[in-house]
Amino acid sequence: MDKKKKRLFMRSAILAVLAGLVVYALYTNLTKESRGSLEAGDKAPDFVLTDVNGETHQLSDYEGKGVFLNFWGTWCEPCKEEMPHMEKLANEFKGEVEILAVNVGESNFQVTNFAEQYGLTFPIAIDEGKEVMDTYGVDPLPTTFMIKPDGTIDQIVIGGLIEEEQVRALFERVKPSS
Amino acid sequence: MGKVKCECGHVNPNGTILCESCGRALTEEARQEKLVDMRYEGSARRSQTYNKTIIDKVWNFFSSVKVGIWIIVLLLVAASFGTILPQEFYIPSNMPAETYYEDVYGTFGKLYYMIGFHDLYNSVWFSALIAALGVSLVIASLDRVIPLYRALKNQRVDRHESFMKKQRLFAEQSGTLNASELENVKAELIKKRYKVRMENGALLAEKNRFTRWGPYVNHVGLIIFLLGALLRSVPGMYIDELLWIREGETLQVPGTDGTYYVKNNGFTLENYEEGEDPEVFDEAINRVGTVAKNYQTDAVLYRDENNELPGAKPELTEVQSDAIQVNQPMKFDSFAIYQTSFRQDEMKAMHFALTNKATGEEYGEITVDLFDQQKSYELGNGYKVELLGYYPDFDGFTEAGEPTSKSPLPNNPAFLFNMVTPETPEGEVSFAQIRNTMEPLGETVYKMAFKSLDTRDVSALTIRKDLTLPILAIGGIIFMIGVVQGSYWNHRRLWIREKNGQVYVAGHTNKNWHGLKREIHAVLKETSIPEPEDRQKE
């Protein structure tokens, strides 16, 4: 009788180990694609970039404020459309929500020319090695990460923000509560 | 309960067919058979005995060789389906798979995509089948090797005559065994590298028992191999990345978490030249035009000492510099960088001359780097060219008349220049492309004449790291050891005993009966001991 129990125990143990391996294999295989990509609720990875005026911006320095982290390119039409809204609201929410616009590695001339043309005053940095872009897994442009004062991601917006009200709603959500 | 006690006194596990010790048939069926089934020594294959709980049922399912073979057949058939149409990985990357299969292969392609055969080898069910094969291997092996090991370990020297009578090689004769004769036989058998045991006047000679473990060693190798393949999906074990790098660029090496940077100091493509290179190439050159001799990227590897945060300015220290050629990768840590592909003559910079349209006189030349433009280019003597806009991939004007670019790649560069000269201090606007200028704001005195183009090559490098290779190699080696162990030796046994005035001789081998017969003949021919006969003619 005792031996039978032992056998059952052994079999269960071996099957459990095998089942564990199989589940792990299937899990890693299925999540291969999405592994490493960010989701709402994740902590926004820290980074440091120098803007076109030579100032350094480290994301963790913005703790306590909301951050509108925008990835853009000069050729991208929807990026052009949302810039004026961003400029307007950056001034409106000054001190509460900050904009960090990350250009995806174009030349200094193109970026400064664009900023002048659209009269942009918020900090714009060029991600030369596309390191920050890779860290955030950005593919289509524009992509905007709304980061809460505690440093977690509130929302990821892929595509252009055409209406000013859309942008305002995003700003309101990450505004520090006080 | 659960045990079978043989008449000889040995206690066997439930389900045993032949007593582990003396070899008596323990089941009615086995008693009826003319020759005993020696597979697994008649031991109790554990799967066949208990069938009570879910665990036992699952165990028994995977223990079955029949099930195992079905899994292999299903895997083979399934894997072959994946070869009918190209897998998703191989279709052009700019085509979405949803439409590609239907567009190219019609209804069949659509069906193929819908069933999921376009990514068959990564599908859940295919992985599940492989997993089932692994489980089957483990359980079926365990279920057989343990009872077999027990049976061979517990076997007695003086087997019961009923066991011997049912062996394929058998002889009996009335008489007695001569002790000195038996000693001679023993000595002969030892010379033939048998291990001989004698008990109660009976003799058991056995050799090459280890060959019986061959299949199980082989399965262990296979399981290690499967584990190695499984480890590939563990982060950090396997990296396979592609990096396009232009001449002169320094880029992060993907897969190294920003620790390493690589610089492309130049890409070279060499072809064999008719007349210069060995004659053997002449024919091929005549037939196909060009024959490539060398694809090479001169690369420098750097380590980034300031790699704490993404985006931080890298501080690079050189690690090594090497010429990467096909099959001659640059190696560092456990990484290797291979030459994979290239693209020649990508636009790098353009030269324009400020030219008086009427006289054709040139007032200096400017070079615009397509990757790093300047706001203005001084030409001296009051001549200067200001850059108002740069459109790397120009594709027309908006309704408002603004030029647009459809991508950041310099595929069709266009420039908006403001030409300042002593005659035109306010400047004149010229829109310049390769071999084409426009005057969007009205007639101008000057123009920006396109002079020439600087190009450079782009090299594609593959970054690979595979820590599972040693595991796969070990698995493969063990697999082969198992095959050799099981194939090149035979497990041979010879029993001789006397009981109640009868001499019994029996022999058994797992294969190559002829070899065993010859050995027995050589040992017994000079003696009075009868030579066993083969009772199953082939």
ipTM attached to this prediction: 0.79
Q: Is B496 helix (H, G, I), strand (E, B) or coil?
A: strand
Q: Do A72 and A158 fall within a single domain? A: yes
CA distance B381 to B363: 9
| Strand partners of residue B121 | none
Q: Could you give the CA distance from residue B118 to residue B267 in angstroms, rounded to a whole number?
A: 36
Residue A66 domain flag: yes
A58 to B46: CB separation less than 8 angstroms, yes or no: no
Q: What is the pLDDT of residue B255?
A: 85
The answer on A74 and A17 residing in a single domain is: no
Task: Kindly state whether A58 is in contact with chain B, defined as any CB-CB distance less than 8 angstroms.
Answer: yes
- Residue A34 is predicted with a pLDDT of 63
User: A22 CB near a chain B CB, below 8 Å?
Assistant: yes
Q: Are residues A6 and A71 in the same domain?
A: no
Task: Give the pLDDT score at B1.
Answer: 42
- Domain of residue A159, residue span: 48-174
My answer on whether A2 and A52 are in the same domain is: no
Q: Are residues A4 and A59 in the same domain?
A: no
User: Measured between beta carbons, which residues in chain B are less than 8 angstroms from residue A24?
Assistant: 230
Strand positions, DSSP E, B69-179: 169-174
Within an 8 Å CB–CB cutoff, is residue A138 touching chain B? no
Q: Is residue A123 part of a domain?
A: yes
The Cα–Cα gap between B489 and B194 comes to 13
Q: Which residues pair with B269 in a beta bridge?
A: B295
- B interface mutation test: which of A116, A128, A131 has the most B CBs within 10 A? A131
pLDDT for residue B537: 66
The phi and psi torsions of B305 (rounded to 5 degrees) equal -85, -5
Record the tokens describing residue B282, joined without a space.
């002449």
CB contact under 8 A, B309 and A48: yes
Q: Note whether B408 contacts A: Cβ–Cβ < 8 A.
A: yes
In a domain, A135, yes or no: yes
Q: Are residues A121 and A155 in the same domain?
A: yes
DSSP 8-state code for residue B278: -
Q: Looking at the domain assignment, is residue A61 inside a domain? A: yes
Residue spans of the domains in chain B: they are: 1-40, 45-152, 159-208+490-534, 217-234+475-485, 238-345+460-468, 347-455
Under an 8 A CB cutoff, do A1 and B405 touch?
no
Residues A59 and A104 in one domain: yes
Tell me the CATH class for B159-208+490-534: alpha beta
Say whether both A15 and A63 belong to one domain. Answer: no
Measured distance CA(A12)–CA(B56) in Å, rounded: 9
Provide the pLDDT for residue B280.
77
Q: Are A69 and A151 in a shared domain?
A: yes
Q: Which of B134, B235, B408 sits opposite A75 (nearest CB)?
A: B408
Q: Per the CB < 8 Å rule, is B390 touching A107?
A: yes
* Distance from C-alpha of A124 to C-alpha of B7, rounded to nearest angstrom: 92
Instruction: Report the SS3 class of residue A148.
Output: coil
Q: Looking at the complex, report in whole angstroms how far the Cα of residue A178 sits from the nearest Cα belonging to chain B.
A: 31
pLDDT digits (tens, 9 = 90+) for A9-44: 888 899 999 889 888 877 877 776 665 677 888 888
- Reduced to 3 states (helix: H, G, I; strand: E, B; else coil), residue B388 is strand
Helix (H, G, I), strand (E, B) or coil at B82: coil
Write the DSSP assignment of B472-486 as a string of letters.
HHHHHHHHHHHHHHH
Least CB–CB distance from A25: residue in B1, B233, B388? B233
Asked, for residue A12, whether it belongs to a domain, the answer is: yes
Task: Assess if residue A90 is contained within a domain.
Answer: yes
Q: Has residue A122 been placed in a domain? A: yes
Contacts of B272 (CB under 8 A, 6+ apart): B281, B284, B285, B290, B291, B292, B293
Residues A28 and A64 in one domain: no
Q: Are B6 and B25 in contact (CB under 8 A)?
A: no
Query: How many distinct structural domains can be found in chain A?
Result: 2
Q: Which residues of chain B have pLDDT under 50?
A: 1
Are A8 and A59 in a shared domain?
Answer: no
CA distance B362 to B448: 10
- Predicted pLDDT at B263: 93
Write the pLDDT tens digit of every residue in B94-125: 777 888 888 888 889 888 988 888 888 888 88
Partner B contacted by A3 (CB < 8 A): yes
Provide the shortest C-alpha distance from residue B102 to chain A (in Å): 24
Burial of B27 (0-12, 13-18, 19+ CB in 10 A): middle
Instruction: Tell whether the model's pLDDT for residue A122 goes beyond 50.
Output: yes
Residues A111 and A52 in one domain: yes
Report whether the peptide linkage leading into residue B254 is cis, meaning its omega lies within 30 degrees of zero.
no
Residue A39 lies in a domain: no
> Smallest CA–CA separation between B490 and chain A, in Å?
32
Determine the Cα–Cα distance for residues B298 and B263; give it in Å rounded to an integer: 8
